[in-house]
Copies of this chain bind each other. A is one copy, B any other.
Amino acid sequence: MEKFEVYILGCGSALPTTRHFPTSQVVNLRDKLFMIDCGEGTQMQFRRSKLKFSRLNHIFISHLHGDHCFGLPGLISTFGMLGRTAELCIHAHRDIEKYLNPILDYFCQHLPYKVTIVPFDTKKPEVIYEDRSLTVTTIPMKHRVPCCGFLFEEKAERNHIIRDMVDFYKVPISQINRIKNGEDYVTPEGVIIPNSRLTQPATPSRKYAYCSDTIYNEKIVEQIKGVDLLFHESTFAQNEIPRARETYHTTARQAGQIALAANVKKLLIGHFSARYENDLIFFQEASEIFPNCQLAKEGLCANV
């Protein structure tokens, strides 16, 4: 199976702790890297991860709170010092220009590469990135400021040829591409060999959904239905539900409820508030509702 992993660089929330960095993740699909959010310290955590800086060309910023974007200036500067030449695209709410442009103007006048800001609408789902193996779609969140999660969907592969059957029916090479596309094979004698005898289904395409920051919001369930891995924020435990509502965040139990309703395969929770000494309370609450649950942790690499 091709590589599809999520690497946690930071999974704390706004206040720093000695245990957690603010939010950042790297999605690794077949050794192409995609960053989600970039809190302070991301470049140090990125370096620790041993992932290659040069494999990253796209950064997706969920929303413009400092704990999700204050690592950008350092990361951008460092890439410049390392002699990067490839364009770096930053996908975010359009206001990011108000924040980044003055910094780029002052600190990054001689950057050897281009930083391109690609603004997205946060109100409705939108495909904001596409290549031959992946699409990234926004998932509108409900937070105090405009905010989107991101759905990473591997594109469906074509069916795999069964070599023994192709040999057996003496299928000419010129026909292979058609068969991969799902067509049947017609022998020179006019016999139809059904596609299902010549191919086996490709590995099902995998999906990763990142949902942070947001108040408990069942509207997202439709869009994340059945994903292989759901990262959902879990800033508070159930004892702080009024605080969660007030600040537009989710509790661990609510994250479990979303995972259950969306029938996802696995739940990963993070964005933990600094007020909890021990993250186990989040695991206990979420896994009561949705057992296949894991706590995010700096350095964790989760398979999608």
Residues of A within 8 A of B (CB): 14-18, 21-22, 40-41, 43-44, 47-48, 64-67, 70-71, 73-74, 77-78, 81-82, 95, 98-99, 102-103, 106-107
Report the minimal beta-carbon distance from A112 to chain B, rounded to whole angstroms.
15
Per CB-CB distance, the 10 closest pairs between chain A and chain B, nearest first, are A40-B74, A102-B102, A41-B41, A16-B44, A66-B77, A70-B74, A18-B48, A16-B43, A70-B73, A66-B107
Supplied contacts A14-B81, A66-B73, 8 more A-B pairs, CB within 8 Å: A15-B81, A16-B47, A16-B74, A41-B41, A41-B44, A65-B107, A66-B74, A102-B102
A81 CA / B16 CA spacing, docked (Å): 11
A74 CA / B12 CA spacing, docked (Å): 14
Given A98-B102, A102-B102, also A40-B107 (CB < 8 A): no
Residues of chain B within 8 A of A18, CB atoms compared: 44, 47-48
A43 CA / B64 CA spacing, docked (Å): 19
CB pair A21–B40 under 8 Å, yes or no, is no
A160 CA / B67 CA spacing, docked (Å): 51
Residues of chain B within 8 A of A65, CB atoms compared: 107
Residues of chain B within 8 A of A103, CB atoms compared: 99
